[in-house]
Structure formats: structure tokens, C-alpha cells
A and B are shown apart, each in its own frame.
Chain A
């Protein structure tokens, strides 16, 4: 048994190296002096990060991406919270089928979602802009929000709600003063995860963006110019750091939500 577990450990570490291989190259090449992305390295430099400061198209793309990511994560969290509350709290006919349908974008190939939305927008004669991307991303992010909110609502103690109603609060008051504070960490986690996923989403943005390029669509265009690649690597490094910060923040909130609920249970 110990021998097999030793092999397993060797495998686990080798696999981990494989998983990290591309990501580890990212900072290496963004700090490398040479314009060519290859070994041997030529020296340490901040020039590619500096170059990002002078790309106006990048700044526009960043602005669009922030608008899209903020709006779609808020919309998706609202929709996800509603769907999750409905399905975790109440038992009713058609619940499972409609929930499965709302969760479908999680597994549908993104190109299908992108193409079908584009067809409708073209048929309706709607001009493509950030709003079309926001709608597409909201559709895509809602399932993620539902999954996060489900774990927040599932940990909720029903007796707290009943106590509040018994003490004379109406439904709205109960939701606003009892339920909402308890699931707030879940809501924040959903907003952060949604924001991060939207910031990185390419296919739907690629189809629906029109002239309002988002960050991934901008990066895609940069791949055609070998000269611009080191700066793109620098941009990728910054994005990775931002994503990891947002992820840690959302993990912190999810832990807090669990601790909050545990402390209530322990007092009982």
C-alpha cells in the first residue's frame, strides 16, 4: 500500500507540473527583454508592462470589459438568487425541469449559444454593442450564480425565518432583515466569480461584441502581431493576478458565510 501511494504521489506532482507549465511561462516571458517569445531569456525588463500604458485600444477594451463584467455579474446574481431561493425553499411542480433548463448554458457549447443569440439579434435588426454582450454573459453566468447561491441557501436554518415571521415581520421584512444578511457572503462570492468569468469570456463576446471590443477579443486580435506578443503576456500576467485576488476574496466571503451560519447554529 505504501509503495503504491508513493507512485501516486510522484504522479500527482508530475501532473501538477503539467497543469502549471503554461501558467509559469506567462510571468517569465512578460518580464523577458526580448521581443521573441522563446528561450534562452535575454534579460529582465518592465518594458512590456510599460508598453501597455500606451495602447489606447487596450484601454477602450478594458473599459468595455469592466462595463460588461460589472453589469452581467450583477444581473446574473439577481437572477441566480431568485432561482436558487425558489428552488431551495419551495417544492413545486416543474421545478426540476425549469431549473435544468436555466442551468443548460453551463454545459452547452458556447459557440451554439453565441451563434443562436447572434441570429436573433441580426433578425431583430439590433445593433451589436456592449449590451448584447451583457445579455449573453448574464445568460452564461446565471447557472454559476445558482450553484453558489444554492450552497448559501441550503445552509440557511428555516427556524430563523419562522421565528422572524412569528415575531411579526412580514415576508419582505424577513427576507431583508434575516435572510439577506445571512446569504450576503454568497451574493458577494457570486458577484466576484461572475465578474472574473465574464472578464475572461471570449466566444460569446467575439460573436456579439460588434465594435465595442472586450479585453479577450482585443487579446485575440493581438495574437496576429508577433511584435505585440510580449505585451500581451504582460497583460495576461496582470489579469491572472487580478483573477486570483478576486478568487481569494470570494473564497474569504464563502468561508465567512459558513462561519456565520455555524455560529448561529452553535448558539441554539
Chain B
């Protein structure tokens, strides 16, 4: 049964209007407010509402912000790359060799991620620290005599912790896209003489591209703004833009600058994501 167009519109909007208005009030309005605030200035507690680009000029010219933006992007892109790189063979294994136990494997993968994110990130500090699990283990093996100090409090530690923390967000979408591949295509390609490697690059990889692209975006966009991980395992060399936004907002009492930094991060992230999607659109459009 198909309703007329108008009837559907009325009934649909009657239901959707409540969540839609809620999101307008709690998402669109605050984002607009943040955007406005980024063009104002603040002197301790008094807000000066004259329109100015001062905050953006400061964000673009001060070396510290440039450093933090670049570092956040590099950390986030590297973490995204490694997460997807490790997740792909795992998803492939479950989808093609999981057999009867696919559900069990997926369940096994998600369990550790119901540990509090804060505590999980803190535990990386326990693993990588000076008296940490890894150092004690290596000393016990007599592979090293002095604890390694380069493990914790740097950008690499942040990348490692993020690669761990976001793993299921890559494994699950890639698994879903691999599951959708028609297995008869693979049989056909084998019958027609494709080697396993040909098959992988000509069928499996292109057909699973939507999952890979989705996974990359799901990880890249939120991790650029991650606050917890750099603060816990990053040390001073691993701090990211979110940490600066928080400092400007609280201790430095400069909410407009914090707003300008937030808006800038959002713009940069959106720009990179759009370019990334456009670059890969042939894989997304075909199927």
C-alpha cells in the first residue's frame, strides 16, 4: 500500500519534527553560537561583541596552534591508517575463514571495548611506562637492562593507543562490506584463471572499498578532536588541538579563541574528509 505523497510527508514530519527540533536546539543552535563567538573577543570576563577576525588570525599565525593542528592531523591520519591496515585482514579472516564462528569472533572483538575508554587509555600508560608491563617483561627476558623511555609520553604512544581504541570501528564496517561480496564472483574469477592475488586486488579490495572508506572517516573525524588519549599518554610532545581548546576555554579564559580553534578544526577535518571521499568516489558510486 502506498500513500499519496502529501500524506506521507505530513505523517513523516509529524513524527520526525520532535527529534529534529531537539537536534536544532542542541546541535545547530550551539554550533551557530560557537561560530558567532569565534568572531568576538573576550577580556577576562567581559565579552566584546564587535566583529573581528582576530581569533582566526591568531589561530593561523601563532606557531603553537599551527604545530598543534599539524600534529593532531598527523597523529589522527597515522592512527587511522594503521587501524584500517590491521583491521582489514582481521575482517577478511572473519568473513572468509570464520565459518560457523563469525558471530563468536565479532563478539570476542567487541568485549574489550566495553572497558571504560578512560581506564583503557590509562592502562596503556601502565603498559608503556618506565616501570610498565612491557619494560618489566623485556627486562625479565633479559633483552634490555635499562627500561626503555621512548615508549610513553610522545606522539607514537598516542597513535598506538588510538589504533587500539578505535579497532572495532574499523573491523565492523569492513567486515560488513566483505560479507556483501557475492562469493560466486570469486568462483568465476578463479575459473577464469585469476590468481589469489589478482582476485584480491581486482575483486575483493574494490568491492570492500565502501567499508574501508567508511571506517577511515569514522576514525579520522573524531580522533582529530580526541582529548583523553593525548592527555594521558601523549606527554608534552603528544598534546593535540583538543587539549588546547580545553585550556583556552577554562584556564586561559578565552572562550572566543577556543571557539575559533574548534571551528577551524571542524573546517579542516571536513575539507580533508570531502577531498578523501571525492578522491574515492568511483568506488562508492559503482555499487
Contacts and interface: CB of A to CB of B under 8 A. Distances in A.
Contact of B97 (A8, A95, A219, A220): A8
A239 B14 CA distance: 39
Interface stretch (A49-57, A80-88, A182-190, A257-265): A80-88
B90 interface: yes
B112 A38 contact: no
Contacts of B30: 113, 116-117, 119-120
Contacts of A80: 19
B221 to A, nearest CB: 5
A60 interface: no
Given A90-B11, A110-B222, A138 B119 contact: no
A21 B127 contact: yes
A108 interface: yes
Nearest to A95: B12
Contact of B133 (A38, A93, A136, A216): A38
Nearest to A102: B23
A204 B231 CA distance: 16
Nearest to A7: B89
B117 interface: yes
A138 B269 contact: no
Contact of A223 (B20, B167, B232, B262): B232
Contacts of A117: 26, 30
A110 B225 CA distance: 7
Dominant secondary structure at the B interface: helix
Interface string A190-202: 0000001000101
Given A4-B196, A232-B119, A243-B114, A115 B11 contact: no
Contacts of A29: 126
Interface string B69-103: 00000000000000000100110111001000000
A1 B114 CA distance: 35
Interface in B253-269: 255, 258-259, 262, 265-266, 269
Contacts of B3: 90
B22 interface: yes
B13 A23 contact: no
Contacts, number: 228
Interface stretch (B52-60, B149-157, B202-210, B242-250): B242-250
Contacts of A247: 110, 114
B174 interface: no
Contacts of A203: 227-228
B217 to A, nearest CB: 7
A22 B113 CA distance: 10
A39 B26 contact: no
Contacts of B284: none
Interface string A144-186: 0000000000000010001000000000000000000000000
Contacts of A268: none
Contacts of B140: 39
B97 A19 contact: no
A144 B22 CA distance: 15
A82 B15 contact: yes
Interface string B181-201: 000000000000000100000
A98 interface: yes
Given A120-B33, A139-B22, A22 B123 contact: yes
B148 interface: no
A19 B221 contact: no
Contacts of A120: 29-30, 33
B232 A111 contact: no
Given A92-B9, A119-B30, A200-B116, A109 B265 contact: yes
Given A116-B34, A244-B114, A111 B27 contact: no
A94 B10 CA distance: 12
11 contacts: A12-B93, A25-B133, A90-B15, A91-B12, A98-B20, A101-B27, A111-B227, A136-B26, A200-B118, A203-B227, A232-B122
- Top 4 closest A-B pairs, CB basis? A109-B225, A90-B12, A86-B15, A116-B30
